[in-house]
Amino acid sequence: MSAWWRRDGRTSPRRGRGSLCAGALVLGAVVLACVLVPIVSPYSPNDIVATPFVSPSSSHPFGTDSVGRDVLVRTFVGGRLDLIVATISVLCSLLIGTLFGILAGASRRRGVDALAMRIVDAVIAFPFIILILALVVVVGSDRSIGPAPAGLPATLIAFLIAGWAYYARLARAETLALRDRDYIVAARLLGYSRARIVVRHLGRSVLRVTGAYAVADAILFVVVIASLSFLGAGIQPPTSEWGSIMYEGRGFLGTAWWITVAPGVVLAITGLGLSLIADALLSPGGVDR
């Protein structure tokens, strides 16, 4: 019987599948709570349901905040928003960056590839969080579009501008490694169009790599979204959001610790689930491919 570990330090397929399943269960539990809690709860996130600073109890498992709102409902309503924003940001960055990197790597003109990579280098040269914060301030964290809460459009625009470059660099490197493979050369000799080769042959292979990286990157996106609100530059109150809830409770840690700790713990659990999935997908031999 094969062991679940290997002496060469690589993760075994059995352990990789276990990590993937554990991460999926943890993340699925958080997502399910974010969907169900706001539905089954009799309270809305901005309803004043009790006196301020009620400690956790059976009627209010996460207690109440400084106004008297239920922290449980606010935490999971905020989690739903954070996860949706992170998912949209990661998917858009993944698709834009992967396509840009494939086109740059597949180009036979050195000038095109060099220009594309200088653009990528210019974006990556700035620290990610500092660039995101600067872009949010420039766009305006108080702006809203339609039903979107104030700060959401600026957050999404900032992530789209700053997030794609990392995927472009990764996609280009993978494309350079694949473009002279036999099946790509055969596709060119058969007269397939450039678009077909990029989408059907290069695209599928490159997306396996960038897609696995996107799961790991989702951890960063979720944390940065919460960090922006904690700094007062992201999604604005009274909209429920993990960072803004923790920001509101920072001044009451000594007397009402649950206001900050409850969303912080849920955020940490979400990061744990994503990290387990990312570890399984990115580890060599972690899961069967």
Average pLDDT of span 126-138 = 88
Q: Return d(Cα 155, Cα 133) in angstroms, integer.
A: 9
Query: What is the identity of the amino acid at 61?
Result: P
- Helix 71-106, helix 258-282: angle, nearest 10: 30
Percent of the chain with pLDDT over 70: 92
CB 263 within 8 A of CB 241: no
CB 249 within 8 A of CB 65: yes
Average pLDDT of span 16-30 = 90
Average pLDDT of span 82-101 = 93
Higher pLDDT, 143 or 162: 162
Res. 2 pLDDT band, cuts 50 70 90 = very low
Question: Which CATH code is given to the segment(s) 44-271?
Answer: 1.10.3720.10
Among 65-74, 148-157, 247-256, top mean pLDDT goes to 65-74
Tokens 């990290």 sit on residue: 275
> pTM score, two decimals?
0.83
Res. 15 pLDDT band, cuts 50 70 90 = low
Nearest residue to 266 (alpha-carbon basis) of 284, 288, 243, 236? 243
Res. 285 pLDDT band, cuts 50 70 90 = low
Nearest residue to 90 (alpha-carbon basis) of 257, 232, 215, 249? 215
Check pLDDT > 80 for residue 141: no
Q: Return d(Cα 137, Cα 249) in angstroms, integer.
A: 23
Percent of the chain with pLDDT over 90: 45
